[in-house]
Amino acid sequence: MLTREIGELPYSGAVAARFPDPSTHYATPGLAPDRRSFTTNAELSQWLRRLSETPLAHGTRATLLEIGHSQRGTPIQALVVTRAQGVTPDILDATKRPTLVLIGQQHGDEPASSEALLVVAKELSQGVLEPLTERLNVIVVPRANPDGAEAGSRATANGIDMDSDHLLLNTPEAQALAVLVRDYRPIAVLDAHEFTVAGPYLEKFKALQSYDALLQYATSANMPAFLTKASQEWYHEPMVRALKTQSLSSEWLYTLSSEPNDVQLSMGDARPDSARNVNGLKNAVSLVVESRGIGLGHTHIQRRVHTHVTAITSALHSSIERAESLEQVRSFVVRDISAQACRDHIVVEAASTPEQRDITLLDPDTGADKIVQVDWNSSLKLRTLQSRARPCGYWLSSNASTAIERLTLLGVQVLRVAEQGSLLADTYQQTGGSAATAQEALASLNGQPSAQRVQVALVRSAIDAPAGSYYVPMNQPLAALVVAALEPDTQSSYFAHRLIGDLADTARVMSTPALLFEESE
């Protein structure tokens, strides 16, 4: 059998032959011939700095921003590519051009995402994509998790998977992205990843993954329907077509459970903790693109990078073509969300819907297609597990300052009670579940799924709101994120993850408060 050098995977020449290199050849430090490692943090930084120092054509400028530091102290860098005369959010806003944010390598073991963003940063600054800056501002964050990239590991240095940390914001890496999105209010955010090719697929299906790309937009409870429709019709569908034109196959994003006997496939889920879902709840078109790459080393790296570059280019064009309509959708959605405060219901928790679906895998020996019918949990149709009357806002005690700080990083408007007063509220009374043990709490801090789960009942009463306590109004654009953070009995909530220590520290305010407030820092 013809075999190439294909690393540790059980991966035949026949499989490899299914994935020819693209006609375009991409060049970054990590893509150099005979290179064994990918672009290092130092090389990445140097690449971006060179782009920012090169005089560019047509008034396009590339400016390097340091948006934060990793846990080990490596700068997290963003390159702002724009024809504006500066790079502050106000100056970019004044251009009336939409701003896009492109994020790479939240997971350190998914190198094609950052190599591709280095290519895109260069092409936008001084290459074939440069003309697009006449109509767009683009902020490229090629490597969101420098420590993970250095170690070749998925998580950040302290073991937290930062892509589950966009609501809690326990890591400086997720905080850096939150502040960037809060300040620049991008119309679209694209988050680039890679997916596992063999691993559990080989064990459970005796097959390898076949698709070049897995794609998905935000699918979370309370996502505005118009934004979902815009994501699908204006971004997702053109992206699928663009990939197909390049002979690159795609499917919805899905994952396979690590449980040995579980062969269900689940689409990217509804939990409001990933960049995809949180940025969607910030009323941006929010897309994930994953290339076929984890575990492949440098195998097919040109094709993996080409997959990302093709998908990102499609998203850039979509943003140009739809900018005006999308601004209209967004301003409608923002007004609509705010107007719903105190009315109707909000979904507290939702889950995907079981279906069956045929997916195409590959025979690991012959490389032939292997079509498998699977149990498939669809996130395109969400089932409501729990809903509640939509409050006018949430009251938080002065003990909840950590929660307030995180909400502020997300861009949520928070008010401080200036003078003591009374509020009509639903308070939470625990009816079941148990507080996490110390060990569970520690596991939770380490990014494990363990969270303290409670069942609650609502008790209507007048509560006392002392001066210095907080009020988070629901008549604001990020109301759905507020619900995700503050309803205590969900897996992703601030209470479940101990950013709020006690159920008595929060309450749902059920009539418009007549209190004196001041803006909270």
Please give the biggest Cα pair distance in the chain. 79
List the one residue out of 467, 382, 460, 370 whose CA is nearest residue 418.
467
List the one residue out of 394, 358, 422 whose CA is nearest residue 494.
394
Kindly tell me which of 152 and 466 has the beta carbon lying closer to Zn ion. Answer: 152
Collapse the DSSP code of 92 into the 3-class scheme (helix H, G, I; strand E, B; otherwise coil) and give the result: helix
Nearest distance from C-beta of residue 292 to Zn ion, angstroms: 12
Nearest distance from C-beta of residue 140 to Zn ion, angstroms: 17
Q: Are 252 and 215 in contact (CB under 8 A)?
A: yes
Would you tell me the crossing angle of helices 479-486 and 301-339 to the nearest 10 degrees? Answer: 100
- Strands 345-362 vs 369-389: parallel, antiparallel or unpaired: antiparallel
Nearest distance from C-beta of residue 103 to Zn ion, angstroms: 11
Q: Does 107 interact with Zn ion (rule: CB under 5 A)? A: yes
> b or e along 436-445 (b: 16 or more beta carbons within 10 Å of the residue's beta carbon)?
beeeebebbb
Q: Does 143 interact with Zn ion (rule: CB under 5 A)? A: no
Report the alpha-carbon distance of residue 21 to residue 190 in Å, rounded. 24
Site string (214-253) toward Zn ion, x via CB under 5 A: ----------------------------------------
Stretch that binds Zn ion, among 189-197, 233-241, 244-252, 416-424 (CB under 5 A): 189-197
Closest residue to Zn ion, judged by C-beta, is: 193
Stretch that binds Zn ion, among 39-47, 103-111, 165-173, 479-487 (CB under 5 A): 103-111
Kindly tell me which of 110 and 173 has the beta carbon lying closer to Zn ion. Answer: 110
Nearest distance from C-beta of residue 145 to Zn ion, angstroms: 10
Q: Which helix (H) or strand (E) holds 143?
A: none
Stretch that binds Zn ion, among 16-24, 191-199, 326-334, 447-455 (CB under 5 A): 191-199
The contacts of residue 11 (CB under 8 Å, 6+ apart) are 197, 198, 208, 299, 364
Nearest distance from C-beta of residue 41 to Zn ion, angstroms: 18
Q: Does 276 interact with Zn ion (rule: CB under 5 A)? A: no
Kindly tell me which of 110 and 489 has the beta carbon lying closer to Zn ion. Answer: 110
Nearest distance from C-beta of residue 107 to Zn ion, angstroms: 4
CA 126, 132, 134, 135 dihedral sign is negative
Kindly tell me which of 100 and 162 has the beta carbon lying closer to Zn ion. Answer: 162
The total of other beta-carbon atoms located within 10 Å of residue 371's CB is 10
Collapse the DSSP code of 502 into the 3-class scheme (helix H, G, I; strand E, B; otherwise coil) and give the result: coil
Q: Which one among 185, 193, 306, 317 touches Zn ion, defined by CB under 5 A?
A: 193
Kindly tell me which of 107 and 390 has the beta carbon lying closer to Zn ion. Answer: 107
Site residues for Zn ion per CB under 5 A: 107, 110, 193
